Amino acid sequence: MLKFIGVGDLLNQELLNTSAYIKDENKILIIDCGVMSFKRMIDLKIFEDVENVYIAITHMHPDHIGGLGSLIFYLNCKNIKPYIIFPKEDEEQKQAIVNFLFLQGVVSDRFYLIADVETVIFSNMLAFSYKTIKHNETLKSFAIEMSFVDKRIYYLGDNNDEKYQKSVLKKLGENDVVYTDCCGDNGVHHINLKKLAEIYDEKIRKQVCCMHFISDENIIKAKNLGFCVAVMEQSKEEYLKRIVSHNN
Ligand SMILES: [Zn+2]
Ligand SMILES: [Zn+2]
């Protein structure tokens, strides 16, 4: 259901920064906008036919928010004033985003701010909320929980939070999907694949989509364990180029 602009970690130049979106009619919800994500959004032409842009930020690391200022300026040039969603219960996070943008000259009349619980973006969406998750001592990170008519999506900003993952597992319905960052065995700020495999039984791993990859090895390991793996979207031009080279 989610499409991916990038699927890499902070420094992954090939897979870019992890960022995703959902589009319905003339509305788009973007989750995170890292330094390397902004240009890719333009290349993929994701704003074609879009009138309303909603942006949800999971946390303040540069691979999740570094491109937000540029994105807002870009949208303003297209006469779009985007909605930035903040956690209603967390004034600190709201202020952090506003200050971050202000310091870049992105003043508050360039965007709307809306609280998560008041956010129902699409006609088939029932609820949207942020939950605080464990990631890093110096920064707060959030998971985004979205209920749709037929499924729930749990999108975890960077995390190493077994407790939250287990709470999600307990309520996971058969149509629901979990999106989570992951890492190799030695990670501290991201949940490692061994831990994920302990939490999610083999038959449920197809509903758990790994993302935020540090390397290709990371992807192969996730696949071999039976997890779903987030794949970067291709532009129409890239897709056609691939077909041509394949046919040759
Ligand atoms: Zn990250
Ligand atoms: Zn992070």
Asked whether 21 and 28 are in contact (CB, 8 A), the reply is yes
In the reported structure, the alpha carbon of residue 9 is separated from the centroid of ligand 2 by a whole-number distance in angstroms of 9
Q: Does the pLDDT at position 248 exceed 90?
A: no
In the reported structure, the alpha carbon of residue 246 is separated from the centroid of ligand 2 by a whole-number distance in angstroms of 37
What b-and-e string marks burial along 186-219, b requiring 16 or more CB atoms within 10 Å of the CB?
A: ebebbbbbebbbebbeeebbebbbbbbbbeeebb
What pLDDT score was predicted for residue 26? 95
Give the number of whichever ligand sits closest to the CA of residue 180: 1
In the reported structure, the alpha carbon of residue 58 is separated from the centroid of ligand 2 by a whole-number distance in angstroms of 9
Q: What is the pLDDT of residues 189-233, one digit of tens each?
A: 999 999 999 999 999 999 999 999 999 999 999 999 999 999 999
Quick one: what percent of the chain has pLDDT higher than 90?
Answer: 89
Q: What is the pLDDT of residues 152-199, one digit of tens each?
A: 999 999 999 999 999 999 999 999 999 999 998 777 899 999 999 999
In the reported structure, the alpha carbon of residue 115 is separated from the centroid of ligand 2 by a whole-number distance in angstroms of 22
Asked whether 227 and 208 are in contact (CB, 8 A), the reply is yes
In the reported structure, the alpha carbon of residue 27 is separated from the centroid of ligand 2 by a whole-number distance in angstroms of 27
Q: What is the CATH number of the domain that holds 205?
A: 3.60.15.10
Q: List the shell of residues around ion ligand 1, using CB closer than 5 Å.
A: 61, 63, 158
Going by pLDDT thresholds of 50, 70 and 90, the confidence category of residue 133 is very high
Q: Does the pLDDT at position 247 exceed 90?
A: no
In the reported structure, the alpha carbon of residue 242 is separated from the centroid of ligand 1 by a whole-number distance in angstroms of 29
- Domain housing 30: 3-247
Measure the CA–CA gap between 105 and 83, rounded to whole angstroms.
17
Write down the pTM of the prediction: 0.95
In the reported structure, the alpha carbon of residue 64 is separated from the centroid of ligand 1 by a whole-number distance in angstroms of 6
Closest residue by Cα to residue 84 from 35, 32, 42: 32
In the reported structure, the alpha carbon of residue 7 is separated from the centroid of ligand 1 by a whole-number distance in angstroms of 10
Q: Does the pLDDT at position 116 exceed 80?
A: yes
Asked whether 21 and 31 are in contact (CB, 8 A), the reply is yes
What pLDDT score was predicted for residue 236? 81
Structurally, how many domains does the chain consist of?
A: 1
Give the number of whichever ligand sits closest to the CA of residue 181: 1
Closest residue by Cα to residue 32 from 12, 1, 73, 2: 2
Give the number of whichever ligand sits closest to the CA of residue 133: 2
